[in-house]
Amino acid sequence: MRLSDQMIQELEQEAQTTKRVLERVPDAQLDWRPHPKARTLGELALHVATVPGAVAALAALPSPVPAPQFGADPKPARAAELLQALDQSIADAKCTLSAMDDATMQQDWSLTSAGRELFSIPRAAFLRSVMLNHWYHHRGQLSTYLRQLDVPLPSIYGPSADESPFG
């Protein structure tokens, strides 16, 4: 099985879990934030929804790649936008990954800033670290936001205090 196919398989599985978390985001709380330095619930949820597609697109660029310049986080107007954004992001990531053969996945990929190399790692390692692990990190962060808002949490990798996949 190709490296990209393995990554797509994991992406599809984790997308279902991410969808269950995003479905719990309350429309009326999108502007809530746990701390002045933190993203709002809506900003974080939209980030979670869009990470796979955005990171896959970045990884598909020919190396070296200038580091993205981040501005203000986009905000959803409604929680319903989150599932649409996730569906599009997953579709985009799958399309991008499907086009990558093993040689492309194993090629060193570099990110630069002001002409200085920040790092150079195999493209597959970048995708694993940022498209997947970074995504899981923020999904976990989102679950803590929801817990603080007393929103019942779905099962993620096993039972939550609110839901069990085991019956």
CA 106 to chain centre: 22
In a domain, 39, yes or no: yes
In a domain, 58, yes or no: yes
In a domain, 79, yes or no: yes
CATH of the domain at 70: 1.20.120.450
List b or e across 43-78, with b for residues whose CB sees 16 or more CB atoms inside 10 angstroms: bbbbbbbbbbbbbbebbbeeeebeeeeeeeeeebee
In a domain, 164, yes or no: no
Provide the residue range defining the domain that includes 15.
3-106+118-148
For the chain, what is the domain count? Answer: 1
Residues 131/55, Cβ–Cβ less than 8 Å = yes
In a domain, 165, yes or no: no
44-101 pLDDT, tens digit per residue, is 999 999 999 999 999 999 999 999 998 999 999 999 999 999 999 999 999 999 999 9
In a domain, 155, yes or no: no
Rounded to whole angstroms, how far apart are CA atoms 14 and 46? Answer: 16
Record the pTM: 0.96
